[in-house]
Amino acid sequence: MLIFRWAVMLLLLAAAVSFAFFAATGQQHYKRFGLVIVKWTIIAAFMFFAVLVLERLA
């Protein structure tokens, strides 16, 4: 559980840094990279919580 929390925090930090680079430079690939990180972080979080719910039901 602790590893998952750290992974999510580091991914969100990487997305924030990417968005900061986009704000500073205006280059679109930083924004795209940040959005991809956020998208996959949210997908992974939903899958993690789905597993927790399924474990609780079983």
Both tokens of 42, joined, read 């949210």
pLDDT of residue 56: 93
Question: Per residue in 1-58, pLDDT tens?
Answer: 788 888 889 999 999 999 999 999 999 999 999 999 999 999 988 988 998 999 999 7
Secondary-structure breakdown of the chain: helix, strand, coil percentages, each rounded to the nearest 5:
95, 0, 5
**Domain boundaries, given as residue ranges, for the chain:** 2-57
Q: What is the pTM of this model?
A: 0.81
